[in-house]
Amino acid sequence: MRSLEDATGDRCVDILATGGDHGWVGCRRDPEDAHGWRRLDAPRMGFASLDEAHRAAASAVGWLN
């Protein structure tokens, strides 16, 4: 639903929606690797809204603040 990149463009947080469930996942990309974005962990789901998932991501990922 939303993809928020850091200032370097090497990290992002994706805000997700699946059915009525919302969550987020952190990702990174390495410029020398043509693979593109890679998830850092499994998505953290279980939030009631996109805004709630975004707030949870911001409290866990320092550069989002």
Residue 51 Cα distances to 2, 8, 35, angstroms: 11, 24, 29
pLDDT at 30: 86
Helix or strand run (H / E) with residue 13: strand 11-18
The residue with tokens 């994706």 is 14
The model's pTM: 0.88
Domain total of the chain = 1
Q: How far apart are CA 40 and CA 25, in angstroms?
A: 7
Task: State the residue range of the domain holding 45.
Answer: 2-64
User: How does pLDDT run along the chain (65 residues), one tens digit per residue?
Assistant: 899 999 998 999 999 999 999 999 999 998 788 888 999 999 999 999 999 999 999 999 999 87
- State how far the Cα of 31 lies from the Cα of 34, in Å rounded to an integer: 7
End-to-end CA distance of the chain: 19
